[in-house]
Amino acid sequence: MKICEGRVAIVTGAGNGLGKAYALGLAEQGCKVVVNDLGVGTHGEEGETRGAADRVVEEIRANGGEAIANTDDVAEWDAGKRMVEAALDTFGDFHAVVNNAGFVRDRMFFTCSPEEWDAVIRVHLRGHFCTSRHAAEYWRAQSKAGKAIDGRIINTTSGAGLQGSVGQSAYSTAKGGIASLTLVQAAELGRYGVTANALVPTARTRMTDTGAFDMDVDEGKFDEFAPENMAPVVAYLVSEQSRDVTGQMFELKGGRLFLSQGWTDSAAFDKGERLDAGEVDAIVRDLLKKREPAKPVYGAN
C-alpha cells in the first residue's frame, strides 16, 4: 500500500542529499511533489548544482510518479506563495510542506562575520518561515470556509540546534529556532487540522561531508548514514496516518528512530522566601548534582 496516495507535498532543497531522498521516497509512496531547489552549493554558492530540481523531477517521472520543478529562493517572501500556488495549479490540492533547504558557513563564534551569520539565519529560519507561512494561511482560510484540512508542516532541525555544535554558532542558533518554531506551529495550527513536526536527521550529505561520517561502506552492508534512511519517516509524516502526531522532534540514526524530548525541569529548591546572593552557589551546585546529564555539545572536549 502506498501511504501517500493522493497527497501533494512541497519539498525544499530537494535537488540533492536528504531533500532528494525525501522527494523520491514521497513519490514512491504515491505523493505528487513540488521539487524545489535553487541550485546552490553547500555554502550558498550560486549555480553549483543548477538544474538539480529538474533532474529529480525527471527521475520521479521516469519511475511513474508526478512532480514539477521549482527553483525559487525559499527565503524570499513571494517564493513561498508561488510554491503553494504551483502545487494547487498543477495538482489541484496541497497537503504538506517539507522544509529542508539550507547551507552552512562554519566558523568559531569569535570569527563569524555578520554576513555569514545573516546568510545562515536567512536560509534556515526565514526559509522555514516563508513557505510554511503561506501554506498555513491557505489551510486556515480553507478551514474557515468549512473544508476539512489534513495539512502537514515538516521542519528540519538538527542535533546542533538541540544541543549546540562547536564551530557552528549561526547554524546551531537557526536550528534551535526551528525547533521552537515547530512547537509554536503545532500549538497554533492544530485547530485548523494542521500538524507540525521536525526532523533531526543523521546522514551523509554535501553539508556533512567533512569527515564526520565514514564514507567507506562495505558492499552489501547497511549504510546507516545514507540519506534514504530518513525518507520513510517523512512519508509517514506526510501521510494521513500521522494526523494526530504533532509537536515532535524525530531523530533517526540508521534504523534507530526515537523522539528528542527537549528541555525539562530539574528538581527544585524552594526556600519559600527571597534567596540571599551568598547562598545561591551552594543551591546551584546541589541542583547540578541532581539533574539528568545533558547531551554534550557536538565537538566539545
Grid cell for residue 31? 505523493
Comparing CA positions, the residue from 244, 239, 199 lying closest to residue 30 is: 239
The single residue of 81, 171, 172, 242 carrying the catalytic annotation is 171
Rounded CA-CA distance 133/151 in Å is: 13
- β-strand partners of 257: 252
Cβ–Cβ under 8 Å, residues 123 and 102: yes
C-alpha 207: how far from chain center: 14
298 is catalytic: no
Amino acid 36 reads: N
Rounded CA-CA distance 133/278 in Å is: 48
Residues for the chain: how many in total?
301
171 is catalytic: yes
Residue with cell 525518507: 231
DSSP reduced 3-state for 251? strand
The single residue of 132, 158, 165, 239 carrying the catalytic annotation is 158
Q: Determine the angle formed by the axes of helices 17-28 and 231-238, rounding to 10 degrees.
A: 50
2 is catalytic: no
The single residue of 22, 165, 175, 239 carrying the catalytic annotation is 175
Cβ–Cβ under 8 Å, residues 99 and 83: no
Which strand (E) or helix (H) includes residue 10? strand 8-11
User: HSE of 166 in the Cβ direction (CA atoms, 13 Å)?
Assistant: 6
Active site residue ranges: 158, 171, 175
